[in-house]
């Protein structure tokens, strides 16, 4: 049998085994109030900081896309070891998102110490915040363990730069589009009014590279299909956003989601559930961290 096929089959078998140990009621006996605790903490955070939902959704994507859903993106760098947080593509991940998860984890540790993993917390938090802001609810299977490693080199190699469809992105990611078009002006495919507003908001982005703008300029506080509606109006923030509408291969999907929010919600929920099962750790391959930003045994790398 081909060696590559053997490897693929082994990985599929491992993934199936990991998923088999997961269930919707995983914490029903060990931490029955976990869902309520998480929801209460997140609701308070979202009310005080409305960008929290978008930030946590970005964390969920950045975590699962690199090495699987194991909360490795939440690990903080130390003097002994740098983590995924130091990767260039992760520098714009918002502090409010990390804070929301830290607060929820602290509350869970008071209720049921050492039980709920940070990986499960992140998956549930992303789902709950999507629902809180108007998006679809989707069931999740729980039982993930937290990863035992976090490398700053992995995200930059795995995550596409400047093409995410979440709500907040740093100015440097789209500066070329608003300043570097023909003759030094804005990209001619961008809505002129939007380009002018962004130029004014981001004029000092070189001195303050974390200056941010909302990707969805119409309904930034809601999870809806307005992102796709905006693309038809030339209101895409990033060049790669607008490419989705300009390219014949992806334009039909933009048109479909812009016209049918229900279809977008259904596809999003299906994709989020599938992503949440990617690279799940269990058994000796993971742990349940006492703090989401640190391994139980100290620095690793």
Q: Is 160 annotated as a binding residue?
A: yes
Is 4 catalytic? The answer is: no
Catalytic residue among 4, 62, 253, 278: 62
Q: Is 224 annotated as a binding residue?
A: yes
Contact (Cβ atoms closer than 8 angstroms) between residue 147 and residue 85: no
Rounded CA separation 59/155 (Å): 12
Q: What token pair was written down for 164?
A: 């995410």
Q: Is 70 annotated as a binding residue?
A: yes
Q: What is the CA 265 to chain-centroid distance, rounded?
A: 17
Q: Is 146 annotated as a binding residue?
A: no
Q: Is 63 annotated as a binding residue?
A: yes
Residue 300 DSSP class: -
Q: Is 84 annotated as a binding residue?
A: yes
Q: Is 2 annotated as a binding residue?
A: no
Rounded CA separation 59/134 (Å): 19
Q: What is the CA 90 to chain-centroid distance, rounded?
A: 10
Q: Is 219 annotated as a binding residue?
A: yes
Extended beta strands in 130-176, E state: 168-170
Rounded CA separation 125/106 (Å): 14
Rounded CA separation 69/60 (Å): 8
Q: What token pair was written down for 254?
A: 């933009």
Rounded CA separation 244/176 (Å): 18
Q: What token pair was written down for 33?
A: 């109030």
Q: Is 216 annotated as a binding residue?
A: yes
Catalogue the active-site residues: 62
Residue numbers belonging to the annotated binding site for Ca(2+): 63, 66, 68, 70, 72, 84, 216, 219, 224
From the annotation, which residues make up the binding site? 63, 66, 68, 70, 72, 84, 160, 216, 219, 224
Residue positions in the annotated binding site for substrate? 160
């Amino acid at each position: 049998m081909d060696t590559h096929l053997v490897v693929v089959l082994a990985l599929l078998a491992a993934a199936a085994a990991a998923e088999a140990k997961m269930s919707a009621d995983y914490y029903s006996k060990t931490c029955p109030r976990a869902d309520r605790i998480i929801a209460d903490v997140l609701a308070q955070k979202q009310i005080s900081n409305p960008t929290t939902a978008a930030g946590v959704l970005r964390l969920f994507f950045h975590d699962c896309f690199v090495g699987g859903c194991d909360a490795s993106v939440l690990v903080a760098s130390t003097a002994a070891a740098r983590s995924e947080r130091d990767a260039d593509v992760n520098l714009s991940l918002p502090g409010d998102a990390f804070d929301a998860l830290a607060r929820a984890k602290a509350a869970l540790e008071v209720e049921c110490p050492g039980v709920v993993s940070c990986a499960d917390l992140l998956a549930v938090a992303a789902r709950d915040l999507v629902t809180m802001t108007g998006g679809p609810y989707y069931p999740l299977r729980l039982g993930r363990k937290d990863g035992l490693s976090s490398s700053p080199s992995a995200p930059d190699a795995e995550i596409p730069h400047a093409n995410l469809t979440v709500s907040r992105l740093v100015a440097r990611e789209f500066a070329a589009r608003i300043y570097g078009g023909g003759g030094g002006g804005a990209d001619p495919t961008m809505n002129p009014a939007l380009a002018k507003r962004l130029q004014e908001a981001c004029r000092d982005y070189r001195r303050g590279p974390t200056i941010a703008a909302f990707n969805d300029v119409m309904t930034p506080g809601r999870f809806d299909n307005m992102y796709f509606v905006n693309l038809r109006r030339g209101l895409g923030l990033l060049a790669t956003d607008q490419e989705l509408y300009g390219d014949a291969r992806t334009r039909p999907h933009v048109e479909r989601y812009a016209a049918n929010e229900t279809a977008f919600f259904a596809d999003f929920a299906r994709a989020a559930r599938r992503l949440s099962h990617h690279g799940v750790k269990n058994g000796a391959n993971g742990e349940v961290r006492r703090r989401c930003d640190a391994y139980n045994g100290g620095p690793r790398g």
